[in-house]
Each structure stands twice: as C-alpha cells, then as structure tokens.
Structure 1
Amino acid sequence: MTTVLEPPAIAPVTAPVTAPVDAPVGALTAGRTTARTAAVRVLLADGHHLFRSGLGALLDREDDLAVVAESPTAEEAAAEAARTRPAVAVLDPDLPGPGGPATAALIRDRAPATAVLLLTAQPRPADLQRAVADGIAGVLLKDVPPAALISAVRELARGGRVYDPRLVVDVVRSGHGVPLTPRELTVLGHVADGATINEVAAALSLSPGTVRNYVSAAIAKTRGRNRCDAIRIARERGWL
C-alpha cells in the first residue's frame, strides 16, 4: 500500500539529545531497550550528530520501535545494516559517501529485508522520481511532523510505501517538463554522486553497456556537451 501523508502542520523534530556531543557513535545506542525483541528495528544514518541523536531519542520513546544503530556515513550505514538487520533504515540522501540512492542499494544488498526511508532537507522532485525507480519505499522532508514520521516508519515495517505529499505535487507539476525517464534520472544521479559506470551497473543490476546508453541518452536529451554538462543542466533545472 502506498501512503501519501497529510501536509505537515507542526514544527520539525526537536527531540533532546541524550548523550554528550563527544560520545562515540556506538555509545549512543548502547543499552537501548534491547529487551524489546518484538519492536521494529530501526537504523539511522545522517551526517549531523545532533539531528541523528534527536531522531533516535524520538523513535526510542515508542514502545514498538527500537533504534539498533546510528551511522554518520554511507559505509558505516551499510555495515551496520548487515550486522543488525533492521526492518527500516532512515537515511539522509546527502549522507557522506556515495549518496542516498547508492547507499540504499548497498543496504538492500547486505540486508534485503530492510525498507529504506529517505529523509531529505531539500524538496527536490527528482529525489522522489529516483526513489520510485530504485524501489525505495519512502521519501519524506525533514520538517515532517514527528507523529507522521513515526507512522511512516511503522508503515514501511509493514511493507507499505510513504511519500511526502509536497514532493508528489511537485512531481506532478514538473513531470511534463522533465525529458529524462526515471531510469535515466537514476543513472545520471548515481554518476553525479561520483559512481563509476561499473559501480552504477552493479548497484542497479544492469550491464555497463546499458548504463552507458542511459548516460548517452541523458546527454542527448539535456543537450549537454558531456556527462558533466548533462549533470549541471539537470541540477540547474531541478531534475537532480
């Protein structure tokens, strides 16, 4: 089931930090409600310590949710997903490393049962388009009400999908002006995040030749001189 949330009506998450700023990441989750074996296991990955800690405190207050790991980078997030096998991974698309979609692909490779929720600060329609094309279960803006975020985590754990209504509206409004297909946007987005052709092919289960064809199509449709120019044009127009 796909869920579109009601537009937010209250302030962003402002849950208090529950550990010293200089505490190691592992210390933030040590001792957290491990006895709640039936709780939905959640992985948090965000490069901002205060936001990540506040979000962890918010989710851990729920009896049916348990934050089992927190990670500041893509590489650590993928490793923690393999180790903890969470039901839901909440990721910042701008996480340090290969980027949100590529990190989501890494997590799915190492923990196939994990549903990914992208929590973004930027209202970019392309994030939603790429997420749908990549099979990512949820995309929300970071100013979503706390109750709505908690509901979204529960929905993803049940196998549902949740997308922020503001992004859906923007996609509908801009859809006719985007010449690239969702797959072309996904491939170009991976390349923009710094992935090589072979890395994109592995992440999307495509052949390198197919990836090159998608890149070539994106260059032609944006009328760019090369892939770098195509990425620049796509970003300027809000497609990436």
Structure 2
Amino acid sequence: MIDSEQGAQDWLRDILGVDAAAMDRLERLAALLVVENRQQNLVSRASLEHVWQRHIVDSAQLLHVSRETSGVGTWLDLGTGAGFPGLVVAALQPERPVTLVDSRRLRTEWLARAAATLGLPRVDVVLARVEDLPSRAHAVISARAFAPLARLLELSARFSTPQTLWLLPKGAKARHELQELGEGWRHTFHVEQSLTDSAAGVLVGHLLGAPHQRGARP
C-alpha cells in the first residue's frame, strides 16, 4: 500500500516506469491544481497535502491494475471533475486521444487550459452532460465517483463494445455495487484492490451486453 507522498512518486518511477518527461508533466499538473483550487473548489483542500497519493497515483494506478500500458485507442473519462483520472492518463500517455467530459463550465475551461499548458494536444475537453454526448465507441472508459454502477452503465453502455475496457474507481463501495448490479447485465467486471486506500477497490472488466440485449451475441 502506498502510504506517503515520496512513496507515491517512487512507485510511479520504479513500478509504473514513468520517465522524467512524464514526471515533469505530473509535477506541473499538481502545481496547477493547487493554484486553481484557490479559485474554484476542484478537490478538498485537505487532499492537496497528499496530492500524489490521493489524486495522481490514485489515477495512475488504473494503468497498473488493468495492465493497460499500450496507450492505444481512445480513452473516455466521464464526470472528470478536476481531471482525475483522465488528465493524469493523458500526462502519462500523451499520444493517446483522451476525452474529458464534465457538465460544469468552469471546470472544463480549467481542464482545457491545463491540457494546453502541459502540452497535451490529444486531450479533448467536452462541456456536456453524459446524456447529451453522441454515441461513439471507445477503447477505455473511466469514471471516478461519478454515479452508482448500474446508473453509470445505463448512461454509458452506448459508448462501449465488448472490447472496451472499463476502469471504475469505486472506493469502499466497489464490491457492494458489483453485487447489487441488476440481472441482465452481461459483464466480466471484478474488483482490484486500490493501491492508495486499503478500503477501496477499482472495478475492472468488459461489458458484454445490456439487459435489453440479453439475446445478443457478445
């Protein structure tokens, strides 16, 4: 378990293999977050004391628990908020197209500025509700504290194919939400232990079919 700011940075370098250029982008992202948080409430002030653990590595671990290291295919981050995990993923995999979706204008304006400052031209920031997004399949879908699992799938299944990888940090409710998922959803979701919180989990897997598609082939 990663339990210190130094440990978080060491993990990025030694385990995830983050190079100097990507570490620099992450350092600048952390600094931008601190400054902008004085203007709008992006994250809790207390969490900024542990920004590498609570936000940077908590996002970066998705690449580790899923073994998603190819950097190939579009990544859709729903309800991205302050850019976690999507903006961290983009900083680590700058060649990958990453779409950050949020319904709050001030946040999307900041996300666009941050992506430009960090030199991430493949980041697309979208101001919209998930319900209003055009249907389009993505290679990876993430959402951190956006909606309960069943509701999230109802809103977002149309962005997925059986090959789409879902990465959903769910905190302490991960196993409960998976157990409570209604009948009819065909999936391969399982819970991976969070590296930053002993009580938290990350849902990882593929969605093979929605309830109304029960008879469809995966």
Q: TM-score range by the shorter chain?
A: 0.3 to 0.5
Higher strand fraction: Structure 1 or Structure 2? 2
Higher helix fraction: Structure 1 or Structure 2? 1
- Tell me the TM-score normalised to structure 2 length: 0.33
Asked which structure has the greater CA Rg, the reply is 1
- Tell me the TM-score normalised to structure 1 length: 0.31
